[in-house]
Amino acid sequence: MEEDRGPAPCHRRGTGPVRIEWKERIVRTSSTRASASPAGGADALGVSSSPHGASGIGERTAAASGGPGSRGAAGSLHTPVLAEECVRLIAPAVTGREAVMIDATVGMGGHAEAFLERFPGLTVIGIDRDGQAIEIARERLSRFGARFAAVHATYDAVASVAADRGREGRVDAVLMDLGVSSLQLDRDERGFSYSRDAPLDMRMDRARGRTAADVLAGEPAGELERMLREYGEERFAARIASGIVRARERAPVVRTGQLARIVRESIPAPARRSGGNPCKRTFQALRIAVNDELAVLERAVPRAVEAIAVGGRIAVESYHSLEDRIVKREFAKGAASSSPAGLPVELEGHEPYLRLLTRGAVKATAQEAAANPRSASVRLRAAEKLRTITHNATTS
């Protein structure tokens, strides 16, 4: 996930017809950042009047010159984060034949476009829960015809999508680019950004589920504190939760500006002056709770590993430690033997079923991070499937 880079004083994603979704992170160029500087103004809430607000941690797309990309709904050129590195890691699984890849967080289609352009025999199935993104991706990738299809779903549906659309129920590669998309960040009505005042929505799929305002209205102080501490790693979780409860006793908390003010007033002044925007952790936590992001990821990674064929590859880009921890754990599990310790031989069916392709996590270069501040927090991990999983497989 990516952090909000707004100027606010607050500190600091079956059968039958399918639909396509598309997410990407937008990188602010220097001129864009200048327009979001204090000259753009910030109101008394610390909410920027700049046209380029941002949200909490975990954003997926960068706008930059060069590389694969196209103009999205807002007319900005979008370039996916670490696109070349993703292509390099997955290429051996999709080169030289009619391969099938699932882009499990297709967003606005930047990564999918890079792969479709590079590998003429490749078919990409894009999954996304955001209906607006689906329509944008469909338009962006229409030139590839039947080589691109899309499914409107959360990415933990990856195994069922592979069963429906893959070869013999398997695919050759899976890519996951986690976090909130630029489309979601930059549209006020989505309510992801703490840099501009907007309705508190934060749903990646606006057709279902509780809004962020619903969560703030319905949860007791203890649950709000738990969410902030667990999902936002917020050390002032108790103070902020109490502030939310006090505020909602006076009036419903339904705007991002209201929440930004509550957070700022709840955090001690010294903490507000260091460590970035103080709102970022609260907005991250609330977004994760609204979209059940960590639970979806917990289900999605093992299902994705199950969905790829032997010799296939999986790559996952994460944007904060909570996501990366889940990915790292699942990959480490697959790369280790499950035979009981002390045995002189490896038990059949207990050999490692993954080979790690990255030494630790790949990060953006200084050059990319400078061009795209939102890529600064990316962590990319990849693995190759060595054998069929015969135990502890999750396929539903």
CATH class of 30-183+294-385: alpha beta
- What is the rounded CA–CA span in Å between residue 308 and residue 327? 16
Burial class (CB in 10 A: 0-12, 13-18, 19+), 355: middle
345 pLDDT band, cuts 50/70/90, is: low
Contacts of 181 (CB under 8 A, 6+ apart): 13, 22, 23, 24, 25, 59, 60, 61, 107, 108, 130, 133
Q: Where are the domains of the chain?
A: 30-183+294-385, 197-291
**Sheet of 308-318, strand order:** 148-152, 123-128, 100-103, 171-177, 308-318, 379-385, 354-356
49 pLDDT band, cuts 50/70/90, is: very low
Instruction: Count other Cβ atoms within 10 Å, centred on residue 158.
Output: 29
Task: Say what the pLDDT of residue 250 is.
Answer: 97
* Residue % of the chain over a pLDDT of 90: 62
Average pLDDT of span 73-84: 66
The pTM score is 0.79
Region of 43 on the Ramachandran plot (φ > 0 left; ψ -120 to 50 alpha; else beta): beta
CATH tag for 197-291 (out of 2.20.28.10, 1.10.357.10, 1.10.150.170, 2.60.40.420): 1.10.150.170
- What is the rounded CA–CA span in Å between residue 310 and residue 317? 22
- For the chain, report the end-to-end CA distance as a whole number of angstroms: 26
pLDDT of 229 strictly over 50:
yes
Tokens found for residue 2 = 């990516």
Mean pLDDT taken over the chain: 81
Residue whose pair of structure tokens reads 């010294």 in the numeric block: 270
pLDDT of 55 strictly over 50:
no
Task: Say what the pLDDT of residue 192 is.
Answer: 87
| Backbone phi, psi, residue 22, to 5° | -145, 120
60 pLDDT band, cuts 50/70/90, is: low
Transcribe 276-296 into DSSP letters: SBBTHHHHHHHHHHHHTHHHH
Task: Say what the pLDDT of residue 56 is.
Answer: 39
61 pLDDT band, cuts 50/70/90, is: very low
94 pLDDT band, cuts 50/70/90, is: very high
DSSP state of 38: G
**What dihedral do alpha carbons 126, 131, 132, 138 form, nearest 10°?**
40
Residue 251 vs residue 5, higher pLDDT: 251
